[in-house]
Amino acid sequence: MAIEGSCHCGAVTVSIPTAPAVLTSCNCSICRRLGSLWAYFDPAEVTRTGATAVYTWGDRMLDLHRCTVCGCTVCWTPREGTAPDRMGVNVRLFAPEILAAARVRRVDGAADTWAELAD
């Protein structure tokens, strides 16, 4: 059974196949500003409805999607020529109880090592 979340205003919805077991908190320049918390899925497993605007930054490996009404960051999708089998969904769009059992791993995107940081 799919799990649904939405942006603040409800104009964009996201459906994921299962509650994620591991979430990623990244401290890179964009993620720390967005306050996003990521779960990764195959793009074929995720359903998104509603209009999003796209922002592409840095090494241009991914597109960040946000609601065109309230501005909430919804997800990132891979750009052409990158790993097409993985996308990030901002799980802050989902009810907290859905995420309560997940482990949050912190990664060092700021130093560009992507190493897992100690708690």
Side by side, the strands of the sheet bearing 116-117 are 52-56, 62-67, 73-78, 87-90, 38-41, 22-26, 103-107, 116-117
pLDDT recorded at residue 87: 96
Query: 3-117: which CATH architecture?
Result: Beta Complex (2.170)
> For 40-67, how does the pLDDT look when each residue is reduced to its tens digit (9 = 90+)?
999 999 999 999 999 997 778 899 999 9
57 CB contacts (<8 Å, ≥6 apart)?
30, 64
Q: Where are the domains of the chain?
A: 3-117
> For 76-99, how does the pLDDT look when each residue is reduced to its tens digit (9 = 90+)?
999 887 778 899 999 999 999 988
pLDDT recorded at residue 7: 98
